[in-house]
Amino acid sequence: MANFGGHSATAYPIGASGDTRPLRTIRSAPESAPSLMIGNPGALTYDSKREEILVPN
């Protein structure tokens, strides 16, 4: 299963149901590393007051 927000892919048993742990996780960084949560960024704007970049997902 692809995980857009966590930048990972997780594998579950075929009969998995409910709150089930994945069998394994593929991720491009250690699990503790925060994800940027950017997915398919089609726009952005710069908040000049806070000096922040806003990216809708």
Q: By the criterion CB under 8 A, which residues form the site for another protein?
A: 38-50, 53-57
Q: How far apart are CA 4 and CA 14, in angstroms?
A: 21
Q: How far is the CB of 31 from another protein (least distance, A)?
A: 19
Q: How far is the CB of 38 from another protein (least distance, A)?
A: 6
Q: How far is the CB of 35 from another protein (least distance, A)?
A: 11
Nearer to another protein, 24 or 50 (CB): 50
Q: How far apart are CA 51 and CA 8, in angstroms?
A: 29
